Chain A
Amino acid sequence: MIRFARDMMRVLRTPCREHVALFCREHDAPLSRGEAFGLRVHIVYCGGCRRFREHLLHMRLLGHTLAQLAENEPGLPADVRERLNARVASASKKN
């Protein structure tokens, strides 16, 4: 409980630049409960951070679309596969 309150207060006292870093970090690692709650409270009254978070979510969705587009591309062409296998064979002979 003390840690929760301490983390929350630390987040609420820091400027928006630090909140942006936390919003980004949230995508890579879970924040502590206090940090996460502090951020949720902050975005209630900070339009800039709220918008930034929306933009991050928007970029995530675009990332999924981009992943689908990349996934729909054809795979390794047969001629490239052959050349790669030949190159691997010659490299292992050299060693």
Chain B
Amino acid sequence: MVTDTDHPNRSTAEAASIAVSSSDSREVAAQRWIAEHGDVLWKFALARTRSKDAAEDIVQDTVLAAMQGFASFKGGSSERTWLLGIAAHKIADHFRRVRRTKSPATPAISPDATCMCATCRGMFTEKGMWACVASKWPDMKLSETEKAEQAEALRACIDALPPGQAEAVWLRDILGIPAGEVCKAMDLTDTNLWSRTHRARVALRSCLETKFGLRKDKRR
């Protein structure tokens, strides 16, 4: 698990980087972002949207928004994480727009609620004890193809999460960005992030059980 304490010297290094960055004109800075972080932003946007057009729009909006907010970047996170945080907001906006135009027959897998959400209610009794017998998942000692298939199932489940939750879980669990940096980049408190990732992971687990064909409604 990567934690914020893994990077004790980051603040000093970033302070120097910001001092250099501040002297750049916004255009030069934006071109540098495209050169240095363009690939990462593109892969993030493409992995989430799976559309080259949408990914291009997101990277463009991210860079333009970063140019506007350049002065407000205080270096609480690395420059790359800051840009990824802006991209995460743009991706969430993209999915909100897409879902608004889609029919309501494709709901997100987890409603926006605390752990008393519908997903959890199915898992626990009223007293908060397990209601369903959890199934054993396929062993991780799988061939590369099987692993890739399961990872694609995970991706499909992440796609079905509500916007905001999906981006938070992608930054934390897929890109492995420390929680503190994700909070700063997405402008969330620790508690907000824990709540989002908790709901997302519970929902992802249920979704994967369905994908693996293991969903049981057996009561204890």
Contact = CB atoms under 8 A, between A and B. Distances in A.
Contacts, number: 158
Interface in A6-39: 14-18, 20-21, 24-30
Interface residues of A, number: 50
Contact of B175 (A26, A60, A67): A67
B147 to A, nearest CB: 5
A9 B157 CA distance: 36
B154 A69 contact: no
Contacts of A27: 1, 172-173, 197, 201
A4 to B, nearest CB: 21
B128 A16 contact: yes
A64 to B, nearest CB: 8
B25 interface: yes
B31 interface: yes
A92 B151 contact: no
A21 B115 contact: yes
A87 B140 contact: no
B18 interface: no
Interface size class of B (residues with CB under 8 A): 35 or more
Contacts of A25: 194, 198
Interface string B152-177: 11110000000000000000111110
A91 interface: yes
A40 interface: no
Interface centre among A51, A61, A80, A88 (most CB of B within 10 A): A88
Interface in B13-50: 25-27, 30-31, 34, 38-39, 41-44, 46-47
A81 B34 contact: yes
B92 interface: no
Contacts of B208: 55, 59, 62
Contact of A48 (B134, B136, B190): B134
Interface of A: 14-18, 20-21, 24-30, 46-49, 51-52, 54-56, 58-63, 65-67, 69-71, 73, 75-77, 80-81, 83-85, 87-89, 91-92, 95
8 closest Cβ pairs, A-B complex = A15-B128, A48-B130, A75-B39, A17-B128, A51-B134, A92-B27, A24-B198, A65-B151
